[in-house]
Structures are given as C-alpha cells and as structure tokens.
Structure 1
Amino acid sequence: MALMLLWGYSQLSKRGETGKRLGFMFKNLPPGPTPLPFIGNMHQVDVKELIKSLRELSGTYGPMYTFHLGSRPCVVLSGYKVLKEALIDKAEEFSGRGDFPAVQMWSNGNGIVYGTGERWRSLRRFAISTLKNFGMGKRSLEERIKEEAQFLMAEFRKTQGKPFDPTFFLSCAGSNIICTLVFGDRFEYTDKKFLTLLDLINSNWKLMSSTWGQLLFTFPKIMRHVPGPHRLIYKNYLKLAEFVRERIEMNRETLDSNHMRDFIDCFLIKLQQEKNNPDSHFSEETMSKTTVNLFFAGTETVSSTLRYGLRILLRHPEVEEKLHEEIDRVIGPNRSPCMEDRSRMPYTDAVLHEIQRYADIVPMGVPHTVTRDIEFRGYTLPKDLNIIPLLCTSQFDPTQFKNPNSFDPTHFLDENGRFRKNDALMAFSAGKRVCLGESLAIMELFIFLTSILQSFNLKPLMDPKDIDITPESSGLGNIPRPYQFCLLPR
C-alpha cells in the first residue's frame, strides 16, 4: 500500500497538480487536521472504521472541520444542529451531489441519486410525480404491501420453526414493492434471475461498506487500477443495468400510451415527448440509470433495516413482548395490519423509529457539494466543495437523545406513552436530497414488521445477552451481522 501511495503521489507531482488537489488554494475553510501530500489525512484514521474515525475527529475539531480524503478537501458536518443548518436551513446551497467513486464509475453523474444540477431536479420532479400516480403513499399501494406481506409470511411458515437466515426473504419482499412500481409486477421468491439480482445488490452494498470500498472512496484514481473485490462493484452495476435494459425493451415493444403500467412506461412516453427538445434532460441512458437507482435503493435499505431490526428484537425480548401485546390488542390475530393501525400503536411506532435510529443503515449518507460560493458559520465554502454529512451524529447526538448509545424506544415516547417525533432522526437524510421513497419505506417497515410479529414469536439460537447488535462493517451502510433464528407460529 505504501508503494502504491508513493507512486500515485509521484504521478500527481509530475502533472504539477498536487498543491491544487490538496486544496491549498482554498482559503478560510474550517480548521482540521494537517494533511500530508496525496494521502491527505488518511494516516490519522482507521480505514476499516472511517466513519468512527471521522466522528472522533469532531471531538477535537468541532462539529465542522476540514478533512482531506486523499487529495480531495472535504468539510465534515457532525451533530444535529450543524446538519440541520446545512441540509435544511440552507438546503439549496448544500444540495449538490458529492464524490462517490464506487458508483460514479458506473453512473458518470447520471441518474436520480448521483445526478446534480437541473438534470437531477427534473428527474426528481418526474420520479416523485410518476411514483405518486402509481400509488406511492396511497391506499392502493398499501394493499400491494399487505399482499406482499402475506407472501412473506407464507415463506416464513415453510421454515417450520427451524433455523434460517432471513436475508433473501426480506430482500424479496422489499424489492417486490419497488418492482411493482418500476416494472409493473412482482417476482416469485424462487425466480432464479430475481435472486441473482438481489445477490448483486446485496454484494454491492457489502462491498461499498467494506475496507476495499473505503479505499476506493478515498483513492479512486489509484484503486481503479488495483486488483481486489472492490472492482466487482462496477461489474455488478453493469449486470443490474443489463437486466433493466431487458425490461425497458419488453415495455417498449408493448407500450400503450393510453395504459401506463409502470415507471418505465412513463419514462418511455416522456422520451417521445422530449425527442425534439435539444435541451432535454431525459435520455435512454438517464432512464436506465434512474431505474437502477430506484431498484437498488428500494431493495436494500428496507430489507437491511428489517434484518437489523429483527436482530435487535432477538437481543431485547422484553421489547418483542410489548410489541406482541400492542399488536394483539389493536389488530388481533386474524386481520392484516394496515396503516390506520399505526396511530393507535405508539409503542410499535416508537420501536420502528428507534430501529431506524439505532441501526443507522446509512450513517454518512451520500456526499453533498456546495452549489455556489457561500459563507457558512463564519467560513467561506467554495462552489463544488465536497461535504460529508455524518447523519449518524445527529441520530446519536446526546443533546437530542437521552441514551443515544443504547436501543431505547422511549426516545420516541413522551411521559404519557404517546409517540413523539424527533427531527434529529435523519434516517432518510434531510433537505433537498431527502429520500423520495421515505413514505413508501415507512409503510413497508410498519406492515412487514407487524405482520411478522402478529404471526410469529422470535426465537434466538443463543442467550439474548450474547447477541451482538453492532454492525459487521460500516461504510456506505451499516451492515448487520449475519445470523439465523427461528420463527415459531403463535
């Protein structure tokens, strides 16, 4: 590794770019640790625990400091107050999309997640409008989620109380909801192509959160030429894109402008409408990359949250017991849970929010950039400066949560046991870049979890006190440790 870094530094020096790339041209940035040429501040952190290291540095340099990811100067934001000021109070100024090499090698800044500027705004408006038309956040989609929950329960019953890993069952259920919106139908849990796609998504999520993924994030120009598992990220995205291309062609051949079936149909019609517009932001490439973005995000985040949540409940059987009591009292054993139940189930609502807070599935979010030169907290932040929003520091902020390092549902309950919202929970990010599928994800989490606990008791394979609920790895995502458990019919 040392030889690799020295080689990279020599290449940059030969091009006379080192000083510029290290950010010496930037003036009046927040203070931070002193960088070294090329490697920046990476000698001061543990690459295996990059986010943990960044959090610890905020203890020395405050809630806003400059950190060099290799040769790239970034400003790190830590804690609820500064994150709110940036992402919400100055949402437009902090709405640019920052460097995320693991995906940008494939996306090239295109698509709804990794795009920026007016193209991103147009895509986001189109996606929100289109998905709402297909029921996102409405009762029609709730019925689809309830139906999928029953498919999931049927698969769980087939385990017959024996130990199993829930990963792909939960991925199938979560993915089928977004598939309904994007592709117009669901897949059987035994569909080999579908399972292959879920494996690609799960693999990329793990790779981007691994040490290799952190090195790629830090030294993208070098790591692109270094052998290692991180190079599978790009290949996996190409395979996902090929599947999406096949689905697009299927839709194109049977397209009926009077009968829109899904997101792809709507995008195809939009392409026809915009074909004579030279300034259009809608293209075949944009359609492909946006569809992959929706498919990936809609599959992994919900399934990971549920997988982490079930492990947390195995660790805390007293919480599971209270959930059973509330589910039995409000819903009963026979009818399917629905979103109307949520307002009468404050403890369940609080547990779901606490699972999202504690699991902290996306601890850093995707990096942002500043969209114009601004003054912020007494510092000058130039346009296109990379911003690293440590969302986890809001969700574990001791000024906002009384017991931040422990799983505690009372963080979202008032003294009378009623649900209490807390804006410091930024599980879906905040501001202009807030996840457009937030309402869908909340619906899925509530209906899937209550359906599971209505039908089953969770049985761990070890003493609950010995269950480790810290993540297996932490990068783009906090990856829950692999586990098996048993589901016993109630």
Structure 2
Amino acid sequence: MFDFIVASENITYVVVEIVLMALVLLSIYWYRRPSKSPPGPRGIPLLGVAPFVGKYMERTMAKWKKTYGSIISVRLGRHDMVVLNDLESINQALVKQPTKFSGRALSSLFQEACNGDFGIGLLDYGPTWKSQRKFGLTTLRGFGVGKKSTESKVSEEITYLNEAIRSKHGKAFDISIILEKAVANNICRVIFGKRYDYDDKVFEKALHMLLTEFNDEAIALTTRVLFLAPWLRRVPPISSICARYIDNISIVVKFLQSLIDEHEQTFDKESLRDFIDCFLKEMKKGEDKSFTINQLIHYIRELFLAGTDTSTSTLNWALLCFLHYPEAQRKLRQEVFYVIGSSGAASMSHKSSMPYTSAFIQELMRYRTLSPLSVLHKANEDAELNGYVISKNTIVAPNIWAVHNDPEHWEEPEKFKPERFINEKGEFVPSSHVIPFSVGPRHCLGEQLARMEVFLFLVSMVQKFEFLPDPEAKELPDIDNGVSALVFVPYPYRLVANEI
C-alpha cells in the first residue's frame, strides 16, 4: 500500500513537471520575437492582445504608438500583425514598396463563402490581381467613371433622391435606406446598365443582404474570433452567425447570377452595354483563365458593395454632423446658394468655387474614418521597413484612423472643424494627411465615383432641405461611436428634412 502511494505521488510530480515545462516552453515561444522585428505588446498566450484592444482596435493601436513607436508588432491569436501608425510608415510600405506589401490576408469564412474567387479588393497580389485590376480600371473609365457622362447620371439620380426625401413631408425618418438606394443606383448603371425603382422588392432585398456584410457587428465580431481560433467555426452560436453570413452572400449571388444570365442571352460583342458585357467578352476570348463566371459574380458584388456602402456611410455621417453642428450646415448652404443659387443644378465644375464645401467634405472624411485599419495587407516577401524586418506572410494594417487623428499633425483632432482646411485667404487647402481611400496600388478602385457622389449629393440635398434632429428624441444621435464592422458606420438615427 505504501509503495502504491509513493508511486502515485511520483506520477503526480512527473505530470506537474511536464505541465510546468510545457507552460515554460509555450511562454518562451509566445514572447520570442524574430530578429529586428518591430516592438509591441504580445498579450497573453493563445489570445495575444485580443482581450485588450477593445471595440475600436485602431484607437488602441494608436495609443500604443506612444510606447512602442509608429511601427508596432502585435500578436493576435496565432498571427503576428504589424500596424503602421503614421503617414510616413504607410507611404514607406504601400507606396515605395508596393510589390512587397500588396498581398491580402483572407479569413477562412470568406474563402468558404466565395468558393475561391475574390473579386478584386481581396484578391492576393499576383498576375491574376494585376490582370483583373487593369481590366477594372480600363472598363470603369470606358463607362465614364469620374467623367462628365457619369456626372449626368448621378445628377439624374439626385432627382429621385430628393423626391424620396420630399415624400416624408417633414416627418422624422431614417434617411439611410433612401441614401443606400440612390447611391447603389449609380454603380448599378455602370455594372448592370440600368437603375432600379426605390420600391423594387428584389433590389431592396439584395441591397439589404449585401450591406449586412459591411454593417453587421455580429458578423464583424465573428470574423475576428475566427481569425484567432478558426476551429470555433462549427461551434454555436458562431456557427449560426457564419451560416447567416453565407446565406446572405448566396442570396446576393443568385441576384447577380440572374443579371449575368440576362446579359448572356442578349450579349453582343459589338455593342457592349456595361461592365458585365465587357467581362463576358474577355471571358469568351479565353485568353485569360481568371475571367470566369464566379469571378465576375464576386467582382461585381465587391464593386456593388464598396460602391454603395462607403458613399452612403459618408453621407450619413455628413447629415449627422449637420444635426450636431448646425452652423456648419448653415455655412455650407450659404455657399451653395451663393455659387449655384437656390434652384441651379450642382456640377463638379462648381467645386473649385466652393472652398467651405470642399473643406467640410475633407474634414468629414478625416473626422469619421470609414475604414480605420483599411483592408488588411500582407507581406508577399521578407521586407525591411524603417530598419525593422517584416517577415513574409505577416499581416500589415495601415492605421488610417491614427493618421487622421495624429495629435502631432492635427490640432484638437477629436473635434469637427472644417475651418482647419481654409487658409487666411479663404481658400481650400487639400491635405495629403487625409487618406480615406488608402494609398498605393491597392487604393480604392471607385475613389473618383465616390468623391463625385458625395459632393453632388451633399450639395443638392442641402440646397433643397434643412436637416434637423428628430423632435421626439431626448438627445442628439451618437456621433462619437458607431457600428464597427468592415466599415465604420453611424448607429441608426432619425432626422427631419424640411423643404426649403
């Protein structure tokens, strides 16, 4: 009996020693850094800094800049991520070394949902991306994106937008749904060759499902969790959220497939009507195997998504600023009336004569950064950045929020002040420190269209309506916080639009 007890104790000691040794080895592995890697917090084993970054990761990363410098390295789950916290380091990586820092880091959930084809924004860097990017730029330019022909179509959509706002008869309502449909129709004209009525139920359902991908906090949180622990993919409630995400994408895919089917039935290579026709022409040539139906589906899905949500969210933040800063709305309207009048049609040619409006839009894009950590990049090869070594496949996050809120560059960055971009002569001063569309070869493909939409829609709305808070609301809608998903968007709010 005594011998048995002694043997049991010995076994216990051995198990304890093994566990302790394993913990020591785990700690050594976890906190060890590659030679010349950037400094930064490692967090705790298995989770890294995930428990410490909070809801707005970009803001926490910017705070860590004070301790570790502009370029920091953090551990998130099994991955190392390098965060670039100022404009200089972002330019050094994305502009001056584009081939080394233009890769993409993809979640397993997204890969499953898209069946291996990633449109354009999430394609990894390489020949396929170059081919698809070149096609996209050429085709969008060919259909007038950023040119006068597109401007006339945006202006036409403004008529429908204003009529939809007018139909609310001065009662409080959520304007985001109307804005979504108006903005979406601009990209629909380019991609599908047509626009949709605002009461079209199929269009409305597809649009809702599409934007859920950008605006759903549960999906955004799930994506982060799976980034840390992919094995949780089959565990409730994460499994049900993943299923909903995939179902949403499948609904959008069916909608887009039906449009492609229509185009194939009426396709004429001598008369190309829109983006889909141009893609089908390349596909039928058979010279580039990356042109497939599935690739087309996710390409137009991305263009539709990014082309709708970014401009819609920017306009939503603008109207929210009107509620919080009525003096800014008054100044903007005063300038609109002075340059265009109360009934004239807004044109991009007016922009150079409207310094306050230009300053308002630039400050808006700085003040409420839509894509705080941009779309995550990946190092395609070992690279050097300001003396640090960034290993191949390391995730790289350009912290655009940190650039837009850098106290070393901006006075009182937390405040909304369009006047910071007006000089003593009353002229608008563009700033290279405002980079809402990112920089380098992977900057937003639809930047020109987005800038045109925001200017024309904003000017036209403020010309026709005065936007006021919901009189039944006890306080103004939250302007400091929002839905932190793939895009930073305001929480739902209601306003009143009184016709002028």
Alpha-carbon shift at residue 51 of structure 1 (Å): 2.8
User: In 1, Cα distance between the equivalents of 2:281 and 2:350?
Assistant: 38
Partner of residue 316 from structure 1, selected from 315, 325, 338: 325
Cross-structure match for 2:51 = 43
Tell me if structure 1 keeps the 8 A contact 2:65–2:72: yes
Partner of residue 442 from structure 1, selected from 451, 464, 470: 451
User: Is 1:259 equivalent to 2:261 in the alignment?
Assistant: no
More displaced, 115-124 or 234-243?
234-243
Cross-structure match for 1:54 = 61
SS in 1 for 2:186: helix
Cross-structure match for 1:488 = 498
Which runs of no fewer than 5 residues in structure 2 stay unpaired? 1-21
What does the per-residue CA deviation read over 1:211-264, in whole Å, with 9 as the maximum and x for residues that have no partner?
Answer: 444324443442454424641222211211121111111100000111111100
Which runs of no fewer than 5 residues in structure 1 stay unpaired? 1-13
Letter in 1 for 2:256: V
User: Is 1:93 equivalent to 2:93 in the alignment?
Assistant: no
SS in 2 for 1:457: strand
SS in 2 for 1:433: coil
Larger radius of gyration: 2
User: Is 1:469 equivalent to 2:479 in the alignment?
Assistant: yes
Letter in 1 for 2:344: R
Change (3 A) 1:475 1:56: farther
More displaced, 143-152 or 410-419?
410-419
Tell me if structure 1 keeps the 8 A contact 2:216–2:483: no
Cross-structure match for 1:347 = 356
More displaced, 471-480 or 225-234?
225-234
Q: Identity over aligned residues, as a percent?
A: 32
Partner of residue 286 from structure 1, selected from 280, 292, 295: 295
SS in 2 for 1:29: coil
Alpha-carbon shift at residue 25 of structure 1 (Å): 8.0
What does the per-residue CA deviation read over 1:285-324, in whole Å, with 9 as the maximum and x for residues that have no partner?
Answer: 2111111111111111110110111011110000001011
- TM-score of the pair, normalised by structure 2: 0.89
Change (3 A) 1:373 1:140: same
What does the per-residue CA deviation read over 1:80-106, in whole Å, with 9 as the maximum and x for residues that have no partner?
Answer: 221222222223321111234553432
Cross-structure match for 2:121 = 113
User: In 2, Cα distance between the equivalents of 1:224 and 1:142?
Assistant: 47
More displaced, 234-243 or 148-157?
234-243
Partner of residue 36 from structure 2, selected from 28, 45, 67: 28
State how many pairs are aligned.
471
Write out aligned runs for 1:180-259 (5 A).
Answer: 180-207=189-216, 210-223=220-233, 225-228=235-238, 230-231=241-242, 232-259=244-271
Letter in 2 for 1:484: R
- TM-score of the pair, normalised by structure 1: 0.91
Change (3 A) 1:217 1:186: farther
What does the per-residue CA deviation read over 1:142-176, in whole Å, with 9 as the maximum and x for residues that have no partner?
Answer: 00000001110010110111111001100001100
Letter in 1 for 2:278: C
Cross-structure match for 1:6 = none
RMSD: 2.4
Change (3 A) 1:467 1:338: same
Tell me if structure 2 keeps the 8 A contact 1:32–1:65: yes
Tell me if structure 2 keeps the 8 A contact 1:119–1:281: yes
Letter in 1 for 2:490: P
Letter in 2 for 1:269: K
User: In 1, Cα distance between the equivalents of 2:247 and 2:32?
Assistant: 36
User: In 2, Cα distance between the equivalents of 1:400 and 1:49?
Assistant: 21
What does the per-residue CA deviation read over 1:263-302, in whole Å, with 9 as the maximum and x for residues that have no partner?
Answer: 00000000011x2x4x632222211111111111111111
SS in 2 for 1:432: coil
Alpha-carbon shift at residue 401 of structure 1 (Å): 2.1
User: In 1, Cα distance between the equivalents of 2:298 and 2:109?
Assistant: 15
SS in 2 for 1:454: helix
Change (3 A) 1:238 1:283: same
More displaced, 229-238 or 253-262?
229-238
Tell me if structure 1 keeps the 8 A contact 2:59–2:402: no
Cross-structure match for 1:84 = 91
More displaced, 299-308 or 466-475?
466-475
Cross-structure match for 2:420 = 411
User: In 1, Cα distance between the equivalents of 2:121 and 2:29?
Assistant: 26
Cross-structure match for 2:6 = none
Tell me if structure 2 keeps the 8 A contact 1:87–1:94: yes
Change (3 A) 1:446 1:476: same
Change (3 A) 1:386 1:146: same
Partner of residue 430 from structure 1, selected from 432, 439, 446: 439
Partner of residue 126 from structure 1, selected from 118, 135, 151: 135
